[in-house]
Amino acid sequence: MEETTLPPTSGSEDAPDLAGELRLHELQSRIFRNTRMLRVWLPPGYGAPENQTRHYPVFYLNDGQNLFDPATAYIGVDWQADEAADRLIREGRIPPLIIVGIDNAQKERPREYLPYRSFHPPIMRPQGKRYPDFVLNEVMPFVHQRYRVARGPENTGLGGSSLGAIASLYAVMERPGVFGRLLLESPSLSISNRQLLKSGRAFRQWPARIFMAMGTREAGNEDRDREVVEDVRELEHVLRRAGLREDRLLVRIDEGASHSEKEWAKRFPEALTFLFGVSS
């Protein structure tokens, strides 16, 4: 793997009163045989002399293009993840933490995120079973070598939206005990004949905290809207049966919300507070 450190995006340079720093690195993957960007947001004070021995929790998020900069985000709408984290840190609601955006592979995104064959979307040669190895054996070592990262599941989160949530859910079940925080935004649980729901029924080593959300207007018609909400309620039932109570699992059914970056951005501060909150 080779590294190229790039200047922060224009969006982060122009944002007022943002003391955090966004760094961009190119990551060459041997597992997927391609190159993508890692977008590493460092919290306020990371570079201060008094913090040089401090280590920080880290939150890995899929679809990194969409997190920090509208210029790179899908249809020009980003999650404003840096602004949200900066504000919550300054308010004392979460500890300073590092956010790592893992760019998707663009046209290859569905193949990399899906672990099983799917007809909707039509993916006959999925590569998603390699994704946990990619995160654990390429992304995480890359970050650990360059940044002061606190270790252990209580300091390590993973998440994403849509198919990025599916990749996160699969990774958590395939590598139990690594991630103690999990964000599932609008997970596409119906893919592959609901295989992940089936696998989840027998799984027990869930992260300590999970935030999961779904809008009621995500699928385009009333029947499918109802089905995707029912899938999330089914996963919630599985998690409750596994022992996750209100202090470990927060589920939001967002009335009228669509399948969009705008909605994920709106819910991100609550998710970040629940997953990493100082008082939680």
Confidence bin at 19 (pLDDT 50/70/90): low
What is the per-residue pLDDT for 123? 84
- Which tokens go with 197? 């729901």
Section 241-268 average pLDDT: 98
DSSP string, 153-216: GGGEEEEEETHHHHHHHHHHHHSTTS-SEEEEES--TTHHHHHHHHHHHT-----SEEEEEEES
What is the per-residue pLDDT for 120? 74
Section 234-243 average pLDDT: 98
- Residue 96 · residue 43 · CB < 8 Å: yes
- Residue 199 · residue 175 · CB < 8 Å: no
Q: Is the pLDDT of residue 1 over 70?
A: no
Q: Is the pLDDT of residue 11 over 90?
A: no
Sequence-ordered list of residues with C-beta below 8 angstroms from that of 210, at least 6 positions apart, any chain:
181, 182, 183, 184, 239, 244, 248, 249, 250
The beta-strand segments (E) located in the chain are: 5-6, 21-29, 34-42, 58-62, 98-102, 118-119, 122-123, 156-161, 181-185, 209-215, 249-254
Mean pLDDT, the chain, whole residue set = 93
Section 125-147 average pLDDT: 98
Q: Is the pLDDT of residue 9 over 50?
A: no
Determine phi and psi for 178, rounding to 5 degrees.
Answer: -90, -45
Section 105-124 average pLDDT: 90
Dist CA 49 CA 53 (whole Å): 9
Enter the DSSP assignment of 65: G
Determine phi and psi for 181, rounding to 5 degrees.
Answer: -135, 135
What is the per-residue pLDDT for 6? 44
What is the per-residue pLDDT for 4? 45
Q: Report pLDDT digits (tens) over 29-54.
A: 999 999 999 999 999 999 999 999 99
- Residue 133 · residue 167 · CB < 8 Å: no
Enter the DSSP assignment of 3: -
The domain locations on the chain are: 5-276
Q: Is the pLDDT of residue 173 over 90?
A: yes
Percent of the chain with pLDDT over 70: 92
Q: Report pLDDT digits (tens) over 73-106.
A: 998 999 999 999 999 999 999 999 999 999 999 9
What is the per-residue pLDDT for 197? 96
Hey, is 210 helix, strand or coil? strand
- Which tokens go with 201? 């029924």
Q: Report pLDDT digits (tens) over 189-209.
A: 999 999 999 999 999 999 999
Q: Is the pLDDT of residue 8 over 50?
A: no
What is the per-residue pLDDT for 279? 61
Dist CA 246 CA 232 (whole Å): 16
- Residue 122 · residue 114 · CB < 8 Å: no
Dist CA 105 CA 113 (whole Å): 9
The whole-model pTM stands at: 0.93
CATH entry, 5-276, from 3.40.50.1820, 3.40.50.720, 3.20.20.70, 3.40.50.150: 3.40.50.1820
Q: Is the pLDDT of residue 13 over 60?
A: no
